[in-house]
Amino acid sequence: MLDPRVQSPERLQFTFSHELMHDRIEQDDDCLSLLADAYIKSDHATMERLCNAGAAELLMPSEDVQDMTRVCGFSTATIPALCHRYRASSLAVAIHMAFTASHQCYLVIAAPRDVRQEAALPMLVDVKATPARQQLVMLYTVASPSAPYAIKRGQLVPADHLMYTAWQRGDETMRGWANIPFASGRRWPVPCDALSFRGYVFAFFHVSDPLISEQMRLFE
């Protein structure tokens, strides 16, 4: 059942497609058997991930997304155009771009959140709590299929990072070299582009170069 509180056309469209995937999978005994064989623990979370992936593919076919990013460029600057093309949310578009990327890259999606600084001496009852201030928090992280590592969610974006600059600049796409924000603190600067759009800050970290329209795909 669709949530009547959802008003966004993009969210309604994705939710409908998600529920359609539930119906198609749950009515297909062969599919359920394959699912049970593929996953030792086929729980609710696994089903939800599959339905999200199916909904994204239904709304934004992978080959079409790859063709669009080759023509328009694989960067955060292309997210608004893809949102308009597919009438999809910025989160769905960016995540699907990362999932269908043919090169090694990482996607980080952050948003401003009120973060309260802990008092230096918490045992002193007379110390007043420090007011909360907005900082960028990494809400979602995605590795492309060929990228070997993962980025921890929930981290704060450093104030000297390109993503933070994009947040401050607004709707302007920022490009430059930036460290992939691994929780270990490992310094690995790669080409990065970041954009503040619809309340989020999106950043792609390109370990290898993305395909462009002049490059031919293998097996074509």
d(CA 220, CA 210): 17
pTM for this prediction: 0.77
Q: What is the pLDDT of residues 12-49, one digit of tens each?
A: 777 776 687 777 777 777 776 766 666 655 567 777 87
Which tokens sit at 43? Answer: 């729980």
Q: At what angle do helices 44-59 and 29-38 cross, to 10 degrees?
A: 120
189: β partners: 179
Does 103-206 carry CATH code 3.30.450.130?
A: yes
The per-residue DSSP string of 94-140 comes to HHHHHHT-SS-EEEEEEEEEEEPPPPS-TT-TTSPPPPPEEEEEEEE
Label residue 73 left, alpha or beta by phi (over 0 means left) and psi (-120 to 50 means alpha): left
Segment among 17-21, 155-159, 168-172 with least mean pLDDT:
17-21
Can you give the pLDDT at residue 23?
Answer: 77
How far CA 158 is from CA of 37, 135, 164, in Å, comes to: 43, 9, 7
Classify residue 61 by its DSSP letter.
-
Can you give the pLDDT at residue 120?
Answer: 45
Segment among 20-24, 88-92, 212-216 with least mean pLDDT:
212-216
Segment among 59-68, 98-107, 195-204 with least mean pLDDT:
59-68
d(CA 98, CA 141): 10
More confident residue, 153 or 53: 153
Domain ranges in the chain are 103-206
